[in-house]
Structure 1
Amino acid sequence: MDDAQLPDVLAFLSQTAPFSELPEAALTDLCNHLHIRYLARNQTSDLLQLQQLHWLRSGTVQLKQQQQIVDHIDTGGCFGAALPGHPANSALQVLHDALVYSFDQTAIDELAEQYQAVANFLQQSDKRYLALEKSQATPSLQAPIGDLLKRQLVSIKPDASIIQAAKRMTQERVSALVVMRDDRLFGMLTDRDLRSRVLAAGLPADALVDQVMTHPVHTIEQDASVIDALLTMSAQQIHHLPVTDGNQIVGLISSTDLLALAQANPLYLVGEIARQSSPQDIEHCCQQLPALIDTMLRQGMRSDRVSQLITLVADIACRRLLVLTEAELGPPPQAYAWLCFGSQARQDMSASSDQDNGLLLAEPPSPEQQSYFQQLASRVCESLDRCGFVTCPGNIMASNADYRMSRIDWLAQFKQWLQSSDPQALLNASIFFDFRAITDPHGLAEQLHNQLRSLCQQDQIFLAALARNATAQKPPIGLFGRLILERDGKGSKGIELKKRALAPLVEISRVYGLAAAADDAGVAARLQAAHADGKLSSTDTNNLTECWQFLLGLRLKLNQQQQTLLKPQQLTDLQRHQLKECFALIEQAQQAVLLKFAGGHG
């Protein structure tokens, strides 16, 4: 190694685990054993045959076994045959040009004997690869749902009797039947339907299937992923999902099928939470989430999928806590919907997301009813906080009486925000127009959403105000593509990614989504709705969606490192280039949304 390279090498090691815990003298001595290599994209290399440990100074590589990805390594990551637990017979794929710092195993072993931080690092590596090995033994979360179909479809006709349907379920050992008419999917009958619509309602055994079946039914295409299926089931709060190939039904998947294959990934955690019988057990389950996020990111899962799964865990935890709390307090005195706002409503949560929620009541509550819902909300919000979904600093929570209102009162509040020119009213509208029901058995949230959708779509003054608000925070890029850094309270310099990039994209998508009457509050879904409505070109839609996914991925990794500022020097050259392109895209999108909805006036 050239002496001129030493300062740069030491600077990198001092910010990289486990070397950041070592004194400078130890790092300087270690550099005597350093091998520096450059790997070009798609280059083959014998690095994995050497008894060395390798740290990526820049670039991205993957480890593969039989064409399956077993690890994904970015800048600062470590790999090598000498690393405990390293996957045997794996191949190295260079995704982006990589600069690699390598050390002989003997040099690292000597450090491990002297410094506990190095020994702990090696032990954690062994545990991490063991977790990855377990997760690889199960079907991928991104595998097509059609790959899970193992048995023939069990069906029945709509004019069959209930007793015939029950016998068929018993004979075939299934919990649901698809109802077919003229070789087409007509409905579905589940064991839950038999309990709630037949036994509880006192219907005779000769009643017909089409009297009690679910119709219409939600379906999913066979090439959709396992994640897509689980998210659909969660959103619709159903346990069975017919799988189709075009117009042809090819099978039926259940939530039990999905959870059974997932003991080493987030789907297993979802199932565990749903089975718990106390808030304390749910809180204990949720402690596994940070480690699972790390596993998903290392496996190269798409950032929006990771956020959706974090949100799914939060949703399931909230639903289960509501069930358990109702069991303690007694049945609710009137119908209600539990609403979530912000990142949970958009399904783009991270490990550091706080909770924003409220209660939508069917009618204005009496003092006694208000007392019940106060207890319900307070207990659930406190448990969610202990689960890791921290309380909202602005107190936007169902435990606050201001956010427990009837549908009439919520609608009046939204109308007031729409008609006000006050900046706080606009801020409130921005927060609360991103809402979604976590539990809503009576359809209260859907009614409110439909009323608000028509109000917003027609209110050009409000949309113009939102458009101006979307341009208030400019992305941190200056002349000639120079990144603009800011300091935090500790003197560190970097980019506040959430405030300067993700938030403007959320606001841009909100304007387009409300103008297009989008059903979904998610950023990508709103952009797609705007494209379908002719308000956004396919090129702009794709570019902004890819920009969102890239920035979301950077933020998730920042959260895992418990950092708030993104430091450009920690990015690869390619990532810095992509970051600058994203900032330029956001700036262009801000100008476009201002022109379309506010006549270009900021």
Structure 2
Amino acid sequence: MNDDIRTVQSFLQSVHPYDTLPQDELARVAGSFGRRHLATGAEIYAYGEPLSGLFLVETGGIEILDRNGALVSLLGPRNSFGERGLMRGGLAVTSARTTEDSELLMLPEAEFRHLVATYPAFERYFNRSRGAEARAVDLTTRKVSELMARKPVTCAPGTPVAEAARVMRDAHVSSLGVIDGAGKLLGVLTTRDLTNRVLAEGRNPSVAVSEVMTGDPVSLPPNAIGSDILHLMLERKIGHMPITENGRLVGMVTQTDLTRFQALSSAALIRDIAGARTVAEMAAVTRRIPQLLLQLVGGHHAHEVTTRLITDIADAVTRRLLALAEAEIGPAPVPYLWLACGSQGRQEQTGVSDQDNCLMLDNSTTADDMAYFIHLAKIVSDGLNECGYVYCPGDMMATNPRWCQPVRVWRDYFRGWIATPSPEAQMLASVMFDLRPIGGSAGLFSEMQAETLEAASKNSIFVAHMIANSLKHTPPLGMIRGFATIRSGEHRNHIDMKHSGVVPVTDLARVYALQGRLTPVNTRARLLAAAEAGIVSPAGGRDLLEAYDLIADTRLEHQAGQVRVGAAPDNYLAPPDLSDFERSHLRDAFVVVRTMQSALGHGKGALS
């Protein structure tokens, strides 16, 4: 095997679905790829032309255009393109050209068809995913790592503003990242800053950038999605979003970068919420969420994208309510943090959501201060209820004095639950391990989260109790190739797709996160992190992830179907409403979950 084939094989091991191939087959396939180096602006193929094979981006960038020349998607390394045409008669259904110097790998058409016909993973991936080429125009679903400028233009804090302006002019950018010698982001300097803080104020052009920049700016990590950028820009009224990793600047996204993308209506809802002056105005916005759910599911978006966008709306409502509350009762006497747990905490809200939240207060909080936070909690909780996020039946809300406490009390809570894992402690720990900051001083939680995960993972008795607690919700499997449905009541002969469907996987993922001291809260992110950390085996992690995707997708499709006919969405699915094919695959997914539960219960943690 020559070095080039080895290089291609190594690259393919990081690309799905090639990573599912046996090693000998992967080596054979790697040898069948051709390589093309193309300069910026080169046409790869035009609409209607015969395609010679499937393209895979190794380095560089590609833009996909429709037959009218409108941008459909921007692609980067590890992205494939051309399969839609190959699957539809061999003629290109889009045009493709490079946006920068690019290295492309090309799989011959015959080899592509062989893989699709031979390996189910290829058939599933290439038959399903290129909704993605048509959908990638949606900013909200794009990874930030694909949107950002990979080499941000920067300067040091001591740079004179005149020199910084020349750098911006020569680089054709509207902002600079201000960094220290280690690459840590200190601030952002924009053309607006030069206008408002230098020219308008008549300041000397030799003044240092550090005196006029926006210091300590809000930033996002590369694994965020486009909706995070859009929502923050709308809420904060900013036009530049730095992308940081471990504090270091790795990219910059601007409003100009986003103009080529068409945002989904979730962005419009966020905009309307950010500008709402009353709770009634916000409630009018949240009443449009079921239609958004229908739109997202109808567009075949992945369940984790749909639930993330819906949760973003709840986050925006919460933050707007906090701002309205402070405008009504004055600023907080001490720092505080509003957190969500439950489905909002995990960013997994669907068309049916109650509220689960709490308040962490600075340790300097006095007894007199508590009256303020009791009032704040009531305003926000009542507002959430009016907006459709109904009061939690279990009273897991900041209006409950138990869940509105200084950080030191919260530390005592977690220490007590870990030291004495009673049934109530297990339940509360399960809820509170899904906490996510929404508004306020996030630093009140981050240090305690790390401490709690470490302490909990080291306590084998607590972990054992958490494992036992995670096995209480079981998939609805009948004895003979059927489902165990609800036996009586309003939902007789239905499956509870929440408590018997997604919750068993959510519980497993939470235990894996505990065992591995993993900080993600989202269920799918926890499963991916657990597989990467070796908490579950590669085969077990992959099977559970695919099972969870099918279960979660089925739940959302059921809810969208109810919205479509004018009914309120719920979690109760009648098996006869599914086709034989769908019932078979759903049952197989439940079998995987049951098997993973059994493995965890026997101390194996994963399928072999």
TM bucket, shorter chain? 0.5 to 0.7
Q: Distance in 2 between matches of 1:517 and 1:218?
A: 24
1:589 maps to which residue?
Answer: 596
Query: CA 1:591/1:385 → structure 2, altered by over 3 Å: closer, same or farther?
Result: same
Q: Out of 491-500 and 371-380, give the one that drifted further.
A: 491-500
Query: CA 1:182/1:330 → structure 2, altered by over 3 Å: closer, same or farther?
Result: closer
Say which SS state the counterpart of residue 592 (structure 2) adopts. Answer: helix
Match of 2:574 among 564, 567, 576: 567
1:461 maps to which residue?
Answer: 461
What CA deviation, in whole Å up to 9, does each residue of 1:164-197 have, x standing for no partner? 65898899998742247899786541569979xx
Q: Which amino acid aligns with 1:536?
A: V
Could you tell me whether the CA contact under 8 Å between 2:185 and 2:244 is conserved in 1? no
Say which SS state the counterpart of residue 360 (structure 1) adopts. Answer: strand
Q: Displacement, 1:241? A: 3.4
2:338 maps to which residue?
Answer: 338
2:354 maps to which residue?
Answer: 354
Count of residue correspondences: 463
Q: Distance in 2 between matches of 1:474 and 1:316?
A: 34
Could you tell me whether the CA contact under 8 Å between 2:168 and 2:174 is conserved in 1? yes
Q: Which amino acid aligns with 2:478?
A: G
2:417 maps to which residue?
Answer: 417
Say which SS state the counterpart of residue 603 (structure 2) adopts. Answer: helix
Could you tell me whether the CA contact under 8 Å between 1:234 and 1:312 is conserved in 2? no
Could you tell me whether the CA contact under 8 Å between 2:178 and 2:188 is conserved in 1? yes
Say which SS state the counterpart of residue 602 (structure 2) adopts. Answer: helix
Q: Which amino acid aligns with 1:160?
A: T
What CA deviation, in whole Å up to 9, does each residue of 1:514-569 have, x standing for no partner? 11111111112222222233221122222212222221222223334234321111
Q: Displacement, 1:161? A: 3.1
Q: Which amino acid aligns with 1:177?
A: L
Query: CA 1:563/1:598 → structure 2, altered by over 3 Å: closer, same or farther?
Result: closer
1:161 aligns with 2:160: yes
Could you tell me whether the CA contact under 8 Å between 1:187 and 1:217 is conserved in 2? no
Structure 1 vs Structure 2 CA RMSD: 4.4
Structure-to-structure mapping, 1:263-278, within 5 angstroms? 264-278=264-278
Q: Distance in 2 between matches of 1:535 and 1:404?
A: 34
Q: Distance in 1 between matches of 2:455 and 2:595?
A: 28
Query: CA 1:192/1:463 → structure 2, altered by over 3 Å: closer, same or farther?
Result: farther
Alignment TM-score, normalising by the size of structure 2:
0.66
Q: Displacement, 1:386? A: 1.4
Structure-to-structure mapping, 1:424-443, within 5 angstroms? 424-441=424-441, 443=443
Say which SS state the counterpart of residue 573 (structure 2) adopts. Answer: coil
Structure-to-structure mapping, 1:287-436, within 5 angstroms? 287-363=287-363, 365-436=365-436
Q: Displacement, 1:218? A: 5.3
Could you tell me whether the CA contact under 8 Å between 2:351 and 2:570 is conserved in 1? no
Query: CA 1:339/1:323 → structure 2, altered by over 3 Å: closer, same or farther?
Result: same
Q: Displacement, 1:239? A: 6.6
Q: Which amino acid aligns with 1:580?
A: R
Q: Displacement, 1:237? A: 12
Could you tell me whether the CA contact under 8 Å between 1:241 and 1:254 is conserved in 2? yes
Q: Displacement, 1:440? A: 3.4
Question: Is there any run of 5+ residues in structure 1 with no aligned partner, and where?
Answer: 1-64, 71-89, 91-134
Q: Distance in 2 between matches of 1:260 and 1:283?
A: 31
Say which SS state the counterpart of residue 518 (structure 1) adopts. Answer: coil
Q: Out of 554-563 and 302-311, give the one that drifted further.
A: 554-563
Say which SS state the counterpart of residue 481 (structure 1) adopts. Answer: coil
Could you tell me whether the CA contact under 8 Å between 1:359 and 1:403 is conserved in 2? yes
Q: Displacement, 1:451? A: 1.7
Say which SS state the counterpart of residue 596 (structure 1) adopts. Answer: coil
What CA deviation, in whole Å up to 9, does each residue of 1:128-148 have, x standing for no partner? xxxxxxx98964543566886
Q: Distance in 1 between matches of 2:234 and 2:604?
A: 35
Say which SS state the counterpart of residue 141 (structure 2) adopts. Answer: coil
Q: Displacement, 1:490? A: 2.4
Q: Displacement, 1:215? A: 7.3
Q: Displacement, 1:496? A: 1.0
Say which SS state the counterpart of residue 477 (structure 1) adopts. Answer: coil
Q: Which amino acid aligns with 2:266?
A: P
Q: Which amino acid aligns with 2:485?
A: L
Say which SS state the counterpart of residue 582 (structure 1) adopts. Answer: helix
Aligned sequence identity (%): 28
Q: Which amino acid aligns with 1:589?
A: M
Structure-to-structure mapping, 1:7-406, within 5 angstroms? 139=138, 141-143=140-142, 155-161=154-160, 176-179=175-178, 188-190=187-189, 208-209=208-209, 226-227=226-227, 240-242=240-242, 252-254=252-254, 258=258, 262=262, 264-363=264-363, 365-406=365-406
Q: Displacement, 1:279? A: 2.7
Query: CA 1:259/1:530 → structure 2, altered by over 3 Å: closer, same or farther?
Result: same
Query: CA 1:237/1:417 → structure 2, altered by over 3 Å: closer, same or farther?
Result: farther
Could you tell me whether the CA contact under 8 Å between 1:158 and 1:208 is conserved in 2? yes
Q: Which amino acid aligns with 1:292?
A: L
Q: Displacement, 1:323? A: 1.2
Q: Distance in 2 between matches of 1:565 and 1:239?
A: 43
Could you tell me whether the CA contact under 8 Å between 2:509 and 2:523 is conserved in 1? yes
Alignment TM-score, normalising by the size of structure 1:
0.67
What CA deviation, in whole Å up to 9, does each residue of 1:21-63 have, x standing for no partner? xxxxxxxxxxxxxxxxxxxxxxxxxxxxxxxxxxxxxxxxxxx
Q: Distance in 2 between matches of 1:431 and 1:289?
A: 25
Q: Distance in 2 between matches of 1:481 and 1:543?
A: 19
Q: Which amino acid aligns with 1:342?
A: G
Query: CA 1:364/1:556 → structure 2, altered by over 3 Å: closer, same or farther?
Result: farther
Say which SS state the counterpart of residue 349 (structure 1) adopts. Answer: coil
Q: Out of 539-548 and 258-267, give the one that drifted further.
A: 258-267
